[in-house]
Structure 1
Amino acid sequence: MNLNNTTVLGTGILGSQIIFQTAYHGLPVVGYDISDEALAAAAQRLDLLVQRYADFFDGGDRTKAQAARDSIRLSSDLADAVKDADLVIEAVPEALAIKQDTYERLAKVAPAHSVFATNSSTLLPSMIAPHTGRPDKFLALHYANEVWKNNTGEVMGTAQTGEEAYEAVVDFAERTGLVAIRVLKEQPGYVLNSLLVPFLQAASGLLVNGVADAPTIDKTWKIATGAPKGPFEIYDIVGLNTAYNISSMGDETNKKFAQLLKTEYIDKGKLGQATGEGFYKYN
């Protein structure tokens, strides 16, 4: 099983990075989203990634990164987007109902040989597998944000995932510049977010309970541990929509934080680094 032609469903912050990472490493890739408006926003994200990749890999030379950008095709027609797909990577919003509906529609139009991989940050793939129509060819491939430098690819199957599909996704991860992390059993949050999410939730709890403001919490963590970023800087990188979706499924403190995110940030268009403002302002 050789996974070359790739389609990424969802062209948000991380979806766009997955698309660009795949193209930069020489594989054909199509980005799908639900509307031409969403694709226009995706095109802008992809254009900005050209310089990020050029600076990180090529000393500022844009030749290879621009060629990768030029190779990417975008589509708002699901059947068109997946017609040649060996691998479909799903990066739609972190809401179970949305993901389940996406896979039910995908199963009707994708080629029979296509492998499906979810990039869900917190949901177990077994919660989605019955909706895929091919549980033996379904598993999780989880990317970290700023994937070009934070290049882990966590591969996690279900009890129904076939060994051939699992190994093919490990191989795909490695061919697209990732360090493949074999997660040996289903775990909400894989390895990375099992460590990261409790850390971020501890910070949001300090904020909503009035213990300290966001800059103070970030400053404390960075000075005391030598970490390059504090939790609220990480929230801005991840995106406040994602933070909202995850927090709204938690306990009362998490839901209080979700409400804060919605009223003070998301409803005002402050979604994090991608929009130029979240907990902090960005150029």
Structure 2
Amino acid sequence: MNDEALDRCCAAHASYHAIYKDQVGATEAEINAAIQRLTYTTDLEGSVEGVDFVIEAVPEVPEIKNSFYAQLAACLPEKTIIASNSSTLLPSDFAAVTGRPEKFCALHFANYVWEYNFAEVMAHATTSEATLEQVFKFAIEIGMVPVPVEKESNGYVLNDWFMPLCQASLTLLVNGVGSAENIDRSYMLFNRGGKMGPLAMLDMVGMNTAINILNYWGNVGNDQQMLTNAEYLKTHYADKGHLGVLSGQGFYTYPNPAFESDDFLSVPNYDVVAEMVAKTKH
């Protein structure tokens, strides 16, 4: 939407270079070739000229999405399919404003797609079979495991279990029941083999996305705890520039967050008992 946003996007992409080398085995040549295939622009009309497929990933705020789709509808070629990467909003909420409801559906990716390589596909009442066929083929082509969402649901499949987990964990933190590390530690001990806990997962999602989702659904459901959690994230993290993994600071510090240390789940020595007593004593 502006040059500053493009600069942040480029910086985020640059931070992935080392990850793709270390975790995926990408070569420098492959990374450079991928960079050459990317174009960054604030020119909406120019960016969609002649395209087959557009994936919308604007903030999780209905007003912003509606405004974007209205602008997009005036620019797109007739052939173009649109998919929303929304994580909690329904395709039927926006189908009409796209101007091509039969060529519109949701295609929701997880964060860290190189590791969590699945893509949820959700239709609305008038999404065409031809559109769904192309979107499923696209997901497979880019190495994703497609997950059909068989009925419109605001949480899709992933977020119907993920967001309640994060909300419960945030509530424990906000209400002073446990620290971020101990909340995540309890989750990881109970789910042996898991690489991170729910608050570390929120760092991966990003604070701004979490705040937008909590504010929206907190207002929709008149859920005061959800609104309190959103305000806590804003005040204690986002307002300080602590946005999660991409900013290098969230509930944990990156790289090398505490939950990745070899002893995070180990039985502790006696020398931490005094600290634990102090935290437990009211």
TM-score range normalised by the length of the shorter chain: 0.7 to 0.9
Aligned equivalent of 2:135, options 169, 191, 196: 169
Alignment partner, residue 45 of structure 1 = 12
For 1:253, give the aligned amino acid.
Q
- Larger C-alpha radius of gyration, 1 or 2? 2
For residues 180 and 169 of structure 1, what CA distance do their matches in structure 2 show?
9
After TM superposition, the structure 1 stretch with the greater mean CA deviation from structure 2, 246-255 or 95-104, is 246-255
CA contact (8 A) 1:54 1:64 kept: no
For residues 51 and 73 of structure 1, what CA distance do their matches in structure 2 show?
21
For residues 191 and 18 of structure 2, what CA distance do their matches in structure 1 show?
31
Cα deviation digits, residues 16-52 of structure 1 (max 9, x gap): xxxxxxxxxxxxxxxxxx1111111211222222332
Alignment of 1:102-141 (within 5 A): 102-141=68-107
Alignment partner, residue 8 of structure 1 = none
Cα deviation digits, residues 55-103 of structure 1 (max 9, x gap): 3333x52221221112111110000111121100000111111011100
Gaps of 5+ in 2: 256-282
Aligned equivalent of 1:212, options 163, 169, 178: 178
User: The residue matched to 1:113 in structure 2 has which SS?
Assistant: coil
Alignment partner, residue 230 of structure 2 = 258
User: The residue matched to 1:111 in structure 2 has which SS?
Assistant: coil
Alignment partner, residue 9 of structure 1 = none
For residues 190 and 65 of structure 1, what CA distance do their matches in structure 2 show?
32
Alignment partner, residue 55 of structure 1 = 22
Gaps of 5+ in 1: 1-33
Shift of 1:134: 0.6
Alignment partner, residue 109 of structure 2 = 143
Alignment partner, residue 58 of structure 2 = 92
Alignment partner, residue 252 of structure 2 = 280
After TM superposition, the structure 1 stretch with the greater mean CA deviation from structure 2, 86-95 or 248-257, is 248-257
Alignment partner, residue 180 of structure 1 = 146
Shift of 1:225: 2.1
CA contact (8 A) 1:51 1:65 kept: no
Shift of 1:169: 0.4
Q: Which has the higher contact order (CA 8 A, sep 6+)?
A: 1
Q: TM-score scaled to structure 1, two decimals?
A: 0.85
For residues 254 and 63 of structure 2, what CA distance do their matches in structure 1 show?
33
Runs of 4+ in 1 over 4 A off after TM superposition: none
For residues 115 and 177 of structure 1, what CA distance do their matches in structure 2 show?
20
C-alpha RMSD of the superposition: 1.2
Identical positions, percent: 43
CA contact (8 A) 1:241 1:266 kept: yes
